[in-house]
Amino acid sequence: MFHHKKGSFSAWMLRLRKIIRWPLMTTREPETCAQHSFEVALISHQIALIGQIKFNRDYDPSSIALAALYHEASESGGVGDIPSPLKYYNPELTKQIKKIENEVEYSMVYQGLPEYLQEAMAPFVIQVKVDKQTKAIVKSADDLAAYHYSLSEVNGGNREFIDAAKLLEERVSKHCEQWPEVNEYFETQFPACMQTLDELSRPDN
């Protein structure tokens, strides 16, 4: 059973910068879970704003961005970054890992935070308490951030990420088909994310 001492929530979250993603893969530029969480929060916020303003969704962009910021809490709280081939090896193993992640999230909130903060934080940190709409947007942003990283590695000559980029491209395509706000973000903002500094600095024609 996991136990997180009182007042330790922020200390555990700040350890996201110590967790390296893609642990079994050779990387040109290692990525931490803290970096990833920032990127997912940024992309989620943009998608939610697009949905709210352009597609009349009833999103709360700030709340969605916060849910994204905390979406890897269990990794910092003791689970770490489990490689996808292992995590999704079979349904039973996936179920057990999800159970452990859930226990860690509950412990971080209900043991690691003062009592008066617990109910306010639970809907952001404990994934089973995150509403489905928010979770869908965060998952889309999660895959977009991973796709961006994978493409960056491939474009830098790292063949290790070719299959990952193809898989993530398929996932992103499905998100775009399901959510017009995701598709709008992907078409209007994502291309610039893949440009060089010189290309970004060049004035529009």
Lookup: tokens for 169:
């491209």
**Comparing 95 with 49, which gets the higher pLDDT?**
49
**Comparing 165 with 202, which gets the higher pLDDT?**
165
User: pLDDT (tens digit, 9 = 90+) per residue, 14-45?
Assistant: 999 999 999 888 899 999 999 999 999 999 99
Least confident of 72-76, 174-178, 180-184, 194-198: 72-76
Lookup: tokens for 189:
């903002």
CB 183 within 8 A of CB 177: yes
**Domain boundaries along the sequence of the chain:** 9-20+31-191
Least confident of 15-29, 107-121, 155-169: 15-29
Closest CA to 71 of 31, 126, 129, 150: 126
DSSP notation for 170-191: HHHHHHHHH-HHHHHHHHHTHH
pLDDT of 1 > 60? The answer is no
**Domain 9-20+31-191, CATH number (from 3.60.15.10, 1.10.3210.10, 3.40.50.2300, 3.90.1150.10):** 1.10.3210.10
pTM of the predicted model as reported, rounded to 2 decimal places: 0.91
User: pLDDT (tens digit, 9 = 90+) per residue, 64-80?
Assistant: 999 999 999 888 777 66
Eight-class DSSP state of 70: T
What pLDDT, on a 0 to 100 scale, did the predictor assign at position 100?
82
Q: How far apart are CA 39 and CA 143, in angstroms?
A: 11
What pLDDT, on a 0 to 100 scale, did the predictor assign at position 96?
77
Backbone angles phi, psi at 62, to 5 degrees: -65, -40
Query: How confident is residue 84, by pLDDT bands cut at 50, 70 and 90?
Result: low
Count the neighbouring beta carbons within 10 Å of the beta carbon of residue 70.
24
